[in-house]
Chains A and B, each alone.
Chain A
């Protein structure tokens, strides 16, 4: 028998990474500056989280120049979208389990 929390995905259950995927799942793409503002993290911290998600295949990062400024756009992949849905469902199930008296 395995503990219910073992169903959580280590790559995305971290708070900021969950936030990144939540923003991206609602949009076609978001840029680095927008994610930094919404999630209230430093550029270095955000870069680290994005690198982890990219390595796991949950997001894609495209760097380019617009109006002579460098710009980084981030897009969620199909795998990332599915992982977010599964993670949220697992967390809700854990909370339901707590509500019904099971220990998480």
Chain B
């Protein structure tokens, strides 16, 4: 085996690895995004009895479950299955951290932590996901979310305005990723 053959074999195995990662990864991004949106909404809602809180308690897991089912079916039809363990661990960790950050913020009366703690935790979740996926796109999304959240805090807006901006930010991100998934699916078909 000469040097060129060794280089060629290494390059081919790297290509195969990247292609597999690319074909498996994308649907899970939406799952994590939706979970983040849910927990941010839930954590920012003060009273547990609020209809909004109750809505997200049910809507979050149902939505996340629906996307997980979609991802599972898509993986089966595309012919490559990923292990969901890393993604489940990230989503559960993110849920726990975001909820805890929100509750600590309310308990100790630290408005900034109560309002934006979950958003920072969500950004940390995206960084973990970016590392697992080796995805620059996910890393860029996490940087953008973090930057806009910091900007919202620095504007010193009212609680309602801040909530609206944070919800808007996550909503737009979710829609953009959903649209991106739709486009990539069209290319696959």
**Residues of A in contact with B (beta carbons under 8 Å apart):** 5, 8, 13, 15, 18-23, 25-31, 33-34, 37-39, 66, 73, 84, 88, 91-92, 94-95, 98, 104
Name the distance in Å between A61's Cβ and chain B's nearest Cβ. Answer: 14
Collect the chain B residues with CB atoms within 8 Å of residue A104's CB: 1-3, 6
- In the bound complex, do residue A15 and residue B8 qualify as a contact, i.e. CB atoms below 8 Å apart? yes
User: If the complex has contacts A13-B1, A15-B9, A88-B10, are A28 and B81 also in contact, measured as CB distance less than 8 A?
Assistant: yes
B185 CB within 8 Å of chain A: no
**14 more A-B contacts (CB under 8 A) besides A38-B20, A94-B3?**
A13-B9, A18-B13, A19-B13, A19-B16, A20-B16, A21-B13, A34-B79, A38-B16, A39-B16, A66-B76, A84-B13, A88-B10, A91-B6, A95-B3
Tell me, yes or no, whether B29 is within 8 Å of chain A by CB.
no
Report whether B20 and A23 are in contact in the complex, using a CB–CB cutoff of 8 Å. Answer: yes
A contact residues around B10 at 8 Å (CB): 88, 91-92, 95
Q: How many residues of chain B are within 8 Å of chain A by beta carbon?
A: 26
Minimum Cβ distance to chain A for residue B22 (Å) = 10
Point out the residues of chain A lying under 8 angstroms from B9, CB to CB.
13, 15, 18, 91
From B2, B12, B20, B76, A27 is in contact (CB under 8 Å) with B20
Given that A5-B1, A30-B81, A33-B79 are known contacts, is A22 also in contact with B7, CB under 8 Å in the complex?
A: no
Question: Is A22 touching B80 in the complex (CB atoms < 8 A)?
Answer: no
A38 to B21, CA, bound (A): 12
Question: CB distance A30 to B6 under 8 Å?
Answer: no
Whether the pair A28, B82 counts as a contact (CB closer than 8 A) is yes
Q: Is the CB of A22 within 8 A of B16?
A: yes
Please indicate the chain B residues that have their CB under 8 angstroms from the CB of A88 in the complex.
10, 13
Q: At the interface, yes or no: B53 with Cβ under 8 Å from chain A?
A: no
A30→B13 CA distance, assembly (Å): 15
CA of A37 to CA of B80 in the docked complex: distance in angstroms? Answer: 12
Which residue in B6, B7, B80 is a CB contact (below 8 Å) of A23?
B80
What are 16 A-B interface contacts by the 8 Å CB criterion?
A5-B1, A18-B12, A18-B16, A19-B16, A22-B13, A22-B17, A23-B16, A23-B20, A34-B79, A37-B79, A66-B76, A91-B6, A91-B9, A91-B10, A95-B10, A104-B1
> Which of B12, B78, B80, B81 has its CB near the most chain A CB atoms (within 10 A)?
B80
Contact B2 A23 (CB under 8 A): no
Contact A26 B12 (CB under 8 A): no
Report which residue of A5, A19, A31 has the largest number of chain B beta carbons within 10 angstroms of its beta carbon: A19
Report A-chain residues with C-beta under 8 Å of the C-beta of B82: 26-28
A5–B16 Cα distance when bound, in Å, is 23
Does A26 lie within 8 Å of B17, measured CB to CB? yes
Within 8 A of A (CB), among B74-99: 76, 78-83
